[in-house]
Chain A
């Protein structure tokens, strides 16, 4: 466990050094200020649109951050050659995978929580009322999505270079966000072989739509039941575990040779 935590700490240091998160936070702040400065026909007290767009941007920025961090962790070790010194230590490859995942997940989750704090803080200053309970649920479930994205990124980057892994992770997660929730609708129009293929994808790909509580937060519909919350969390953990297991399977027998890693 100590080894996993040490690896996670190294990820934190690396991310903080690169300053990706600060840039996104500043960008979000600028966009929120620009939105707040918009004149809505001279009407006061109209703030929900700022919270809505702010939360949408938080989802997009956390997605970008999760992919960019998750996909470079393993290839970076290989391109720098530090993988040799790392594997020379008593660290198992499974621990390496889990340590990297834990570090990336925790740092992106904290960054996302800060995005939420910024969005909620700014809109509350303008008079918006925050439903705290459902907002906390939304942050936790968003954290589960980040866990899945980073696990998928690690799975792809276990065998591919960072660019290819980022592309595939981006395509997979974008499909899960945008296409998968609408498959039941498309199947009605498609039918036949196409419909069957879509159903296969519906059951195969992760479902991110059940983690999205933005509408409940924005329209103040109150918290979801504990049973539902736990079921969704368990689903998130299961998908994350599957991706991490696949990452480990891909990485455990990977052979590293000096001189062949410059392409990473």
Chain B
């Protein structure tokens, strides 16, 4: 009699591999989880006795904290391992690290790695669910899911919305995840950036390309601003940060021709004044902090939905 919710995947590696039903299931579940974080006692016993390992080979505040809080609000034990403090600095291979962690019987592994494909590789050596928390320039599925949840909350539904993604598309795993997910959900995506920050052949992903910010955002329902990744900018792709800002920093002036209903989102961390101006960032259309709140609910939903599969495999 009880309706059930299941995902087609036992690992969350990419948005490309999720169906629209999967995405709806995750968003609906996350929507129900939001209330828990508003309680005085922000904890439910659902994952009591379960162990979640956060294995992060790249710096992160938001994502790692968000996964940790999500696990703890479900009563799981959460262990954080950062690349700098792990045995990989002693020369242990990624696969050996994962096999050793597996020998301690965790229930879910959350992985961030600077190499695209690392989480997918890990699934071959780890028999419990793996969640990709960002791999190289490939994908960052939980970020895309929280973006979709935030947009859906304000727009009612996703189908038919026009999204403009502005910034370093070439290096952005957030852009890649969202391009796949948004098209799965029936949205249209336009990417806006200087030619050097747009991958060759991106049209094959079904997106429009534009090199002018003012024109590009005119009909957008949602503007997603991406961070200029300082750590990846020594390749001569931009002549200078200031020049990038002159042409691509989103300011109130750009928004004067844009509908008041248009939402502005940014996956963080923000370089204030470089890709987005201070007044836009803190303005009424900006949902940057709502995204962070929704991130916890999305990650609680992923843990909840993936738990069943891990049981089936161990029993």
Are A and B a genuine interacting pair, yes or no? no
**Contacts from B to A (Cβ < 8 Å):** none
**Contacts from A to B (Cβ < 8 Å):** none
